[in-house]
Amino acid sequence: MLLSLTHYYQKEIQAMAHRNTIFHSMLNFIPRHQFSALENQHGTGRKSRKFSRWNQFAHLMFMQLTGRKSLRDGIQSMNSRIKDLYHIGAQPVSRSTFADANNSRPASFYEALFERVYQRCRLISPKHKFKFKNKLYSLDASTIDLSLGAFPWASFRRTKSAVRIHTLLDHSGYLPAFVSITDGKTHETKVLKSLNLPKGSIVVEDRAYTNYQWFNNLQQNGIFFVTRQKKNAVYRVTERRRVNKSQGLSSDQTIVLTGTKGLLCPQPLRRIGYRDPVTKIHYVFLTNNFKLSAKTIADIYKERWQIEIFFRWIKQNLRIKAFIGNSRNAVMTQIYVALIAYLLLCMFKFMSKVSASLQNLIRVVQLNLFRTCSLEELFEPPPKDSNKTIINKQLQLAFF
């Protein structure tokens, strides 16, 4: 299935090389029949004849990929491309109509669309860098500060509001596999019940997600975890294993939690001590995986830094810190469309032969969104003799 899907996308990219714009090619990664099926599931009654859901999505995606700073800026910029709108199945819209759609059309549609795009993207994503075959995920949350006056529904503290993006990052391609958007007050552990991890997978989290009952549930469901041990953890060592101190390891033990916390997680756990050779910081990890080497467990937790890179990237390159609507529905819609844009960029990168980073990719795409060519052509170096050709033509003109 993976080979057939890869072959299909390669044919699509080749076929679209001289017929479609870059923007059109990216939108084509979302099958319209699947889009329509989701639209029927998350509808609000009678469909709008003047401003379709696809038209709304195209406008939102355009604003994400081009970094429009305001609703007025986005609408005016999009409406100036009337011919290009026709080719992507969209049409001009007024600011009031667009704003009403963002406030009233359920954001759950874009949440479902995000999940559908991720499922397609993960089939063509590269594997994670480790030798083991288990799926690897990182779990973390990032907070976006908001104005209390403009976003009262997201009250966080006395003087400000905030939304929190809880994310499960798939290390195969560094893709967001699960996203939950809450107000800033919602604690990280509140979203644990919503996760549906495949059996045999490994999930990495920091100490904020320490929940011994959840650790026990993961153990019973055949799922591994790697986290840092809390300083106030009470435990008893039942076994000690030799470690290679040249690798930075200081201990590898089997422990049993004691006290009231031990009742929530009665299974033995593995405790690993490790000192980072660069920062000299000493870490203590807890895991229920006894098969992987102690150094691999330490490297797995170090790989968790990728989710921090992911949060930094979307905040710097996508529109999720300034919003074109103030309602909860409009904010969630904009964030989910931003994450869909991230997935589409990843799909474009995975399916093309371009070796550029995702950072360089979005910069080039922003400047050439409506150019009719393939993604590979955007990164092709100019001919070596192009300057000479121009000079020769200028010289020829000078003699006439």
Q: Residue 260: CA atoms inside 13 Å, Cβ hemisphere, count? A: 2
pLDDT tens digits, 142-188: 999 998 888 999 988 878 899 999 999 999 999 999 999 999 888 88
pTM over 0.85: yes
Q: What is the pLDDT of residue 323?
A: 92
| pLDDT band at 3; cut points 50, 70, 90 | low
Residue 323 backbone dihedrals phi, psi, to 5 degrees: -115, 150
Give the phi and the psi of residue 321 in degrees, each rounded to 5.
-110, -20
Average pLDDT estimate for 29-44:
88
Closest Cα to residue 204, out of 115, 289, 311?
A: 289
Beta bridge partners of 182: 164
Is the predicted pLDDT of residue 387 greater than 90, yes or no? no
Average pLDDT in the chain:
88
Q: What pLDDT does 399 receive?
A: 41
Beta-ladder partners of 170: 137, 175
Task: Tell whether the model's pLDDT for residue 2 goes beyond 80.
Answer: no
User: Of the given ranges (12-21, 39-48, 149-158, 327-336), which has the lowest mean pLDDT?
Assistant: 12-21
Lowest mean pLDDT across 16-25, 215-224, 357-366, 389-398: 389-398
Greatest alpha-carbon span in the chain? 96
Band (pLDDT 50/70/90 cuts) for residue 380 is confident
The whole-number pLDDT of residue 187 equals: 86
53-66 vs 108-122: helix crossing angle, rounded to 10: 70
- Residues 264-277: tens digit of each pLDDT: 889 999 999 999 99
- Reported as a pLDDT band with limits 50, 70 and 90, residue 261 is confident
Q: How many C-beta atoms lie closer than 10 Å to residue 88's C-beta?
A: 21
Res. 394: pLDDT tops 60? no
Burial tier of 211 (Cβ tally within 10 Å: 0-12, 13-18, 19+): middle
When pLDDT is cut at 50, 70 and 90, the band that residue 397 belongs to is very low
pLDDT at 396 exceeding the cut of 80: no
Domain parsing of the chain, residue ranges? 2-114+325-378, 207-303
Give the pLDDT confidence of 291-305 residue by residue, as tens digits: 999 999 999 999 999
Indicate whether 248 pLDDT > 90: yes
What DSSP line would sit under 245-309, residue for residue? GGGTEEEEEEEEE-HHHHHH--S-EEEEEEE-TTT--EEEEEES--SS-HHHHHHHHHHTHHHHH
Over residues 191-230, the pLDDT tens digits come to 898 899 999 999 999 999 998 999 999 999 999 999 999 9
Is pLDDT of 385 > 90?
no
With a pLDDT cut of 90, the percent of the chain lying above it is 64
Question: What pLDDT is recorded for position 354?
Answer: 81
Does the pLDDT of residue 355 top 80, yes or no? yes
Instruction: Quote the DSSP letter at residue 336.
Output: H
How many Å apart are CA 227 and CA 206, to the nearest integer? Answer: 5
List 144's β-bridge partners, or say none. 163
Contact between residue 63 and residue 324 where contact means Cβ atoms under 8 Å apart: yes
| Confidence (pLDDT) at 377 | 84
Highest mean pLDDT among 11-20, 82-91, 320-329: 320-329
pLDDT value of position 395 = 42
Amino acid 98: pLDDT: 93
User: What is d(CA 374, CA 357) in angstroms, rounded to the nearest whole number?
Assistant: 17
What pLDDT is recorded for position 18? 45
User: Is the pLDDT confidence value at 345 over 80?
Assistant: yes
